[in-house]
Amino acid sequence: DAKTTQPNSMESNEEEPVHLPCNHSTISGTDYIHWYRQLPSQGPEYVIHGLTSNVNNRMASLAIAEDRKSSTLILHRATLRDAAVYYCILRGLTGGGNKLTFGTGTQLKVEL
Amino acid sequence: GAGVSQTPSNKVTEKGKYVELRCDPISGHTALYWYRQSLGQGPEFLIYFQGTGAADDSGLPNDRFFAVRPEGSVSTLKIQRTERGDSAVYLCASSRYGGGEQFFGPGTRLTVL
């Protein structure tokens, strides 16, 4: 599986935008970029995913670089509830594409 | 609707004992996954079921670990001769189909003394 690289931790103030980066220089053409997050003492939850084009949903936006070697998860207005570990995951269409391969993620801290 | 549920929420056992962990997926989800998570680490894949069959068990660490899903719904993860290194949070997830968005349960925290 292609690997992703994320900063160990980031901090933000409440109601400010947050940009969480992810590098995936060995991504293959059929790998989708998925983001999950894990709140304290809970299982992970799906946030967003994309292939080539930028994506928006009610939780966040995903900006994908033109060469697809990096992506950024954007939380438009962070709240205290967004404090979690955010995982950037590459997921292929074949072979082991059904499982999620988690790294250590980025611990996001949100302060008042 | 109800999400993925896991029982028990906590399990404490002694080294060498046998344990069973249960997962109730979201109704109608054909795919079910087991992961385990050690402190400070991301979840680690164990096994994936499509229906009743194990489609990918490449993550099971050794033959002490076994999982079943006899009717294509509830799944049980079984660990024989538990070791202290098995202590972790065991997470179950389900999805409508293989490769779909995964919905996770709250996990079972297993402690082996």
CA distance B14 to chain A (A): 24
Q: Taking CB atoms and an 8 Å limit, are B43 and A104 in contact across chains?
A: no
**Average pLDDT of the residues in B74-80:** 98
Neighbours of A17 (CB within 10 A): 11
Binning pLDDT at 50, 70 and 90, where does residue A93 land?
A: confident
Q: Taking CB atoms and an 8 Å limit, are A102 and B91 in contact across chains?
A: no
pLDDT at B1: 56
- The answer to whether residue A8 neighbours chain B at the CB level (below 8 Å) is no
pLDDT of A97 > 90? The answer is no
Scanning A91-110 for CB atoms below 8 A from B yields 91, 93, 96-105
Sign of the Cα pseudo-torsion (B13, B4, A88, B47, in order): positive
CA distance B101 to chain A (A): 7
What is the tens place of the pLDDT at every residue in A24-54?
999 999 899 999 999 999 999 999 999 999 9
Q: Look over chain B and give the mean of its residue pLDDT values, rounded to a whole number.
A: 96
Q: Taking CB atoms and an 8 Å limit, are A98 and B44 in contact across chains?
A: no
Q: Who contacts A72 (Cβ-Cβ below 8 Å, separation ≥6)? A: A19, A20, A21, A22, A62, A63
CA distances from B104 to A42, A95, A111 (A): 9, 22, 27
Which among A49, A93, A99 has CB closest to B48?
Answer: A99
Beta strand A9-13 with A106-111: parallel, antiparallel or unpaired? parallel
Beta strand B65-68 with B108-112: parallel, antiparallel or unpaired? unpaired
Residue identified by tokens 């709140």 is A39
Neighbours of B32 (CB within 10 A): 29
pLDDT at B100: 87
Q: Look over chain A and give the mean of its residue pLDDT values, rounded to a whole number.
A: 94
Q: Taking CB atoms and an 8 Å limit, are B33 and A99 in contact across chains?
A: yes
Query: Which residues in chain B have their CB less than 8 angstroms from residue A48's CB?
Result: none
Say how far residue A82 (Cα) sits from the centre of its chain: 13
Q: Which of A74, A102, A92 is nearest to A10 (CA)?
A: A74
- What share of chain A in percent tops pLDDT 90? 88
Q: What is the distance between the alpha carbons of residues B38 and B86, in angstroms, rounded to a whole number?
A: 9
pLDDT at B2: 86
pLDDT at A95: 60
